[in-house]
Amino acid sequence: MGREALIKAHAYALGFDLVGITTLGPAETAEAFDRWVDAGYAGEMGYLARGAEKRRDTRLPVPGALSAVVVALDYGGREPSGPVARYARGDDYHDVMTGRLRELHAWIDSRVGRPIEGKAYVDTGPILERDLARRAGLGWFGKNGNLVSPEIGSFFFIGALLLDLTLDADPPFEADRCGTCTRCLTACPTDAFVAPRVLDATRCISYLTIEQKGDIPIELRGEIGALLYGCDICQEVCPWNVRFAQELTEDALRARAAIGTKDARTLAREILALDDERFRAAFRGSPMKRAKLRGLKRNAAVVLGNVGTIEDLPALTAVVIDSEPMVRDHAAWAADRIQAGSVGSAQRCE
């Protein structure tokens, strides 16, 4: 068995669901990414513009690196819809995947018989992992921008281990298997897709509930429905996921007790009642910490403004006197909608 086959076998043994190998060099999608940032579609995510030179050439982040082992870890597209996107219900995937990629790196060192310079990347540096994944043969770019695998759909994380090691590359994935399908584009509640494979993040529910640090625009709040953190809609409607999405097998990614199978109203009320100490205890090691407590409370208020009832007014009223202006303003908006009887019929993922 060749070196590449052994590396892949060990990666699968570590729990990864897809593995491919590619040669490092100029990133094919770097120019399109730069145009996307320049168009303002990244919103407040200013960090995406940093490290542009390294992003344009994948040999630069790790001096001397020649190859990348690219992996995917499935996070369970067969899990039921809910107020929290599937990827964020368990432990932080950065920690889960980075630890395993480092294990793979150490194993490669032992097999080669010397230390190999390298570094693991999982959304943690100026690397276009999706670009590397396509070049490593894992899948194609769907019209919603996600990498789609013909084997497991798109409910998976991507990671890359850059190595100062010459490895035979797998053939890139050349086909576009979306065909004429536009279900992901038309299903988006906020019309966030400017064109196929071009997302205006400032209108995306995932961006609005996670990356947006200030107020959620009033005109978009109603379209968020019962989605409290992230959004899976464009993936849920994809025929490749309908047919090939996997059951969740990774225990670290299972929903923690703070989320469980709670409906949107219950989870929103519980989050509104959290203080800093209970928040840290409930969401330690969770991706949801990224939004911070103020962001989660803002989102919870919007959810109740969309799917709440008169019974939820006490929870909102208690927050209206919150010392955090942003949370207070969103709670007041929600309470006004409930009292005015303008809560719509949108029950998305409740």
CA distance 76 to 30: 30
φ/ψ (deg, to 5) at 28 = -65, -30
Give CB contacts under 8 A, 24+ apart, made by 26-33. Answer: 26/56, 26/57, 26/58, 27/55, 27/56, 27/57, 27/58, 27/128, 27/131, 27/132, 28/131, 28/135, 29/128, 29/130, 29/131, 30/55, 30/56, 30/57, 30/128, 30/131, 33/128
CA distance 21 to 159: 12
Catalytic positions, written as ranges:
123
> Directed axis angle between helix 325-339 and helix 292-307, to 10°?
10
Contact 188, 236 (CB under 8 A): no
CA distance 333 to 343: 11
Contact 350, 263 (CB under 8 A): yes
Q: For the residues of 257-315, what is the DSSP string, one character each?
A: TTTTT--HHHHHHHHHT--HHHHHHHHTT-GGGGGHHHHHHHHHHHHHHHH--GGGHHH
Contact 22, 136 (CB under 8 A): yes
